[in-house]
Amino acid sequence: MTWLRLAVANLGLSPLTSAVNVLLMSLGTASIVLLLLAGSQLSDTMSRDARGIDLVLGPTGSPVQLVLSAVYHADMPPGNIKLEEAQRWADDPRVEAAVPISLGDSHRGFRIVGTTAEFAELFGAGLATGRAWDAPLEAVVGSAVAQSAGLAPGSSFAGTHGFGDGGHGHEAHPYQVVGVLEPTGTVVDRLILTSLESVWDVHAPAASHAHEAGGDHEHGHEHDQGHDHDHGEHDADHDHAGEHDQDPDREITAMLLRYGSPMAAMTLPREINAAGTLQAAAPAMEVARILQLVGIGLDGLSAFAWMLILTAALSVFAALYGSLRARRGDLAILRCLGATRWELLVALLLEGLLLTLVGVALGFLAGHGAMEMLGGWLEESRGVALTGWTWIPAQTLLLFSLFGVGAIAAAIPAAQAYRTDVARTLAEG
């Protein structure tokens, strides 16, 4: 404890220099921690959300936009496709499961998804309370929607045209909440699920004019006679696209497919794209492309953060080396009082490691705190759930690397202290 107290006292002799060194180290550390947490969680979230979806059928255009809108619900849909045309591919024997989705409305920023009962199964989402919908204009909400919007079985709400807050409201067609899904940590937590008929019914009056994608995209759907039956007898398990509605003009936003065999991945997308009327986008490929682009940006930011850390290390080295030259007489006196060479070396190493320890500790706290605040903002504004209350393996490697950098920065001044010539130093006064 004597040498530790001495190291703390020596650092206190130059408080401004010590504070600058700690600040540089903490800024660099916080930046890298934030990038590691964001990159890791973003990659895990995107992979988890697309786990049960092998292929997305949609209108021709950007495959990235199609995947972002249909799988992650983070972009505007590129348009609509004919249900009948998509169903032909969904009935292909190479396809194990096909789930249609129809988008266009939202409630308080949460997207309303017209789909079938199989949609929740793609994400392993079971009911926490209530039941599944069994009639048009009944809805099941994700856990985040229920918490944020205050919805529960028995609640009612009206959808808003588009995905923002300024769209036209559908007060004439209120939804009745009949169930709440269990939390899954996936995109389904932030969605409102209902039947395809619900979306078609709400937009039936708009059949005479076109709407654009992402809030004004064309639904162009009419009321069909199939909705005149007793809704109480309608079974959600039979709510499959193509079975309950044979109108060739019916449209959906996309069709989510799961392969029945590995061979399908090699042949089906190519055949669909070759036909030219629909686009087939593989989420796994598009996610890899997105993460590669994100990774380039993260690598650049990481390089800048490491420059801050190296600057801090050089600053620590300069501070300790300058302090050593000013304290050569004191070190010589300590040798005369019985201190060994190794004790002087340890004393200088302790000073460098203390600066590193404080900087790294503050950096980790700041990085995790910034990630928690950023995650809260992203979840509220973009529906992306990130948290600072986690630890990833890369941080352990980072921790040891940072202490290694601190030790190297203090090594040369410590070695100089070890080689201090007592007689010569005292003779020079």
**In terms of domains, do 380 and 261 share one?**
no
- Nearest CA-CA partner of 382 in 56, 72, 37, 161: 72
**In terms of domains, do 130 and 253 share one?**
yes
**In terms of domains, do 210 and 71 share one?**
yes
**In terms of domains, do 218 and 367 share one?**
no
CB-based contact 398:305 (threshold 8 Å): no
Q: How many domains does the chain have?
A: 2
Q: Which domain holds residue 108?
A: 55-281
**In terms of domains, do 67 and 171 share one?**
yes
**In terms of domains, do 353 and 301 share one?**
yes
Residue 373 tokens, joined: 């605040």
Which residue, of 281, 314, 341, is where some domain finishes?
281
- Nearest CA-CA partner of 206 in 94, 332, 80: 80
CB-based contact 258:95 (threshold 8 Å): yes
**In terms of domains, do 168 and 276 share one?**
yes
Which residue, of 281, 302, 331, is where some domain finishes?
281
Predicted structure pTM score: 0.71
d(CA 111, CA 191): 5
Which residue, of 281, 311, 326, is where some domain finishes?
281
pLDDT in tens, the chain (429 residues): 476 776 777 777 778 888 888 898 898 999 899 988 988 888 888 888 888 899 999 999 999 999 999 999 988 999 999 999 999 999 999 999 999 999 989 998 899 999 999 999 988 899 999 999 999 999 999 998 998 899 999 999 999 987 766 667 788 889 999 999 999 888 999 999 999 999 998 887 543 333 333 444 444 333 333 333 333 333 434 444 444 445 667 899 999 999 998 889 999 999 999 988 899 999 989 888 877 776 666 677 778 888 878 888 888 787 777 766 656 555 556 656 666 776 777 777 888 888 889 999 999 999 999 999 998 887 766 657 788 999 999 899 999 999 888 888 888 777 776 666 555 554 555
Q: Cite the DSSP H helix spans in 81-210.
A: 83-90, 118-122, 143-149, 196-203
d(CA 209, CA 232): 32
Residue 105 tokens, joined: 């409305």
CA 276 to chain centre: 33
What is the amino acid identity at position 81? I
